[in-house]
Structure 1
């Protein structure tokens, strides 16, 4: 069934959950990996497609792909 609500149509275009960049610290060998977030937190995520030491896109607790290793800046406004 197609909805006529334009807001619902717009929301359907946006993927659920936020995407973060994390550094993979280890592949666990059981289909999961350890990832370190920018704030220093370590989380366990699904997937082992990115090698340790590289950055990865994490969405919904799962590795979505390799992220580029770009410089990071923090600016206060």
Structure 2
């Protein structure tokens, strides 16, 4: 019986997290955007489909789509 060890190993790894960010600026010339996270961090990601000042979903350093502009609550238990 043949088994694909890489496929079995990959199933053990967690998926990349989906991060909600605020787009600070869009740079169409490079195809990237500067974004800020809820924690205050900044990073450059691929994608220019979301306007500056809007929220977006980011996974694997790429903008996936626009996110709704909802209030963020963090509750510690």
TM range (shorter): 0.7 to 0.9
How many residue pairs get aligned? The number is: 73
Cα shift at 1:76: 1.9
In the superposition, the TM-score normalised over structure 2's length comes to 0.78
Local SS of the residue matching 2:35: strand
In the superposition, the TM-score normalised over structure 1's length comes to 0.78
1:71 lines up with 2:71 in the alignment: yes
**Structure-1 separation of matches of 2:75 and 2:15:** 28
| Aligned match of 2:56 | 56
Structure 2: segments with no counterpart, 5+ residues: none
Cα shift at 1:53: 0.4
Two-structure CA RMSD over aligned residues (Å)? 2.7
Runs of at least 4 residues off by over 4 Å = none
Cα shift at 1:16: 3.4
Cα shift at 1:75: 1.4
1:32 lines up with 2:43 in the alignment: no
Structure 1: segments with no counterpart, 5+ residues: none
**Structure-2 separation of matches of 1:40 and 1:72:** 14
